[in-house]
Structure 1
Amino acid sequence: MWSKTTTLFVVSLFSGAIIAQDNDELVNNLINLRGQVEDLQAELKILQAEHQNSMSYLNTRKSELEANRDRKELQIKQQQQDLSSLQEKIKDLGLGSEQMIPTVKALIEPLKTNLQYGIPFKKTERLSVIEEIERSLEGRKITSQNAINRLWAFLEDEMRISRENAIYSQTIDLNGESLLVDIAKLGSVMMYFKTRDDRYGKAVRNNSNWQFVLIDDTEQVQQIETLFDSLKKQIRQGYFTLPLDLTAQG
């Protein structure tokens, strides 16, 4: 039989082996955890760099869109000033309606040009307002002063359009087919659409031409769907992630 001392010695050796094994296991676990931490830190750095690049791009696009909006509003204000100056000229010089027709028509032309190349929001309807004023003036159905008053009201509507975010119905040309769709209009710079069979897309400008393009990317479709839902709920301000350039803009 083993003595009590021998038994204690064997137990001590056995315990020491277990502790050594536990220590090795602990060291290996620590090494694995350190490797995982280093991998996560590397991944985090990549994500931070991607996030910084994305934010830089978004800030640049935000500045461009704000600049486009400001230019549009400045254009409208300048046209309003031109109309106001013409009204004063008529008043001060006592000029007759016939004499002022060429001057009024000269003011109409840049309005038509702006509509032709601007965002394709109800372009036909908006252009028809200008053309009807022009026809009435040429046919002597209205005076020059009346034409100026109507042009002023038109520019006030244009100013409202340039600031408004809302949903409308509009007929668009999509791949050669005329379709009635829902339009999500963001000021005078961006337009998205939703077809009646739940396809989504965007108005894209390539130089001076606009076209309506479908979007197939699932993530981008969800972004536009969120925009439509928010506008329907009267949420017209806030931050939205949206697909921007599909082709180069002029």
Structure 2
Amino acid sequence: MKVGVAIPAYNEVHTIGRCLDSVRAQTHQARAYVAVDASTDGTLELLQHHPQWWAGLTWLPERSGWPTALNAAAELAINDGCDAVMVMNADDYMRADAVERLSVALEGHDWALPYAQQVGAENAVQVPLKRFPLTLRDFSGPHCPIIVFGLIRARVWQDLGGYATDVSLPGSYGYNEDWDFWIRAFKAGYGSGALVREPLLFYVMSDKQLHKQGLHRHAEARALIMAKHPDVFEHRQWAPCSCGCMEGV
């Protein structure tokens, strides 16, 4: 299985080297495909000086946001013949056997996800909010129950058209589009997923992360998802959420 790691990058000159080192160190060969989202800190120049780090590189001249950059990186991988796309952030990194473990788990499934180990903040292990196997109804809660950082078959990504930006939070550079991605995947019949119950991805916590920047607007972002998928949220019953996002709902 040819695996491409799709990496959107915005001003990650100090972190992307570690990320790409972890891709190159995989026990199952994986290649990195990077979309630089109008970075101003030298990220593009660094990558251009190290072509051995990546198999594909593209530049977005205007800041487009994480979803659009992710789509561009995944397109590079798929056009290069990759059978599956691994999604990750440019400031994160993987355990050396991450792609191997996920590739084995992917057998007979549409996608495979790992646990993720936070680096910083609470240093918690990030796990799905719902038990596997998941159903479409599991996506009708106050938060998306799973993250997108994992291995997804190329045909699934192509059929869905990657991330949709019609649910992007206005004025943001990406927030909650993965929720819409998974709902569309389940509706399209791509609900067969595997879970590797070990932290294979190291998720670096920082103040600039999109989920932190958008947390105070979570209810607004969720309303866009609900408006697009009213059938999924028709019978929702929510308890107050500890993050405060239930205010006004």
RCO greater where, 1 or 2, for CA within 8 Å and sep 6 or more?
Answer: 2
- When you count helix as a share of all residues, which structure comes out higher? 1
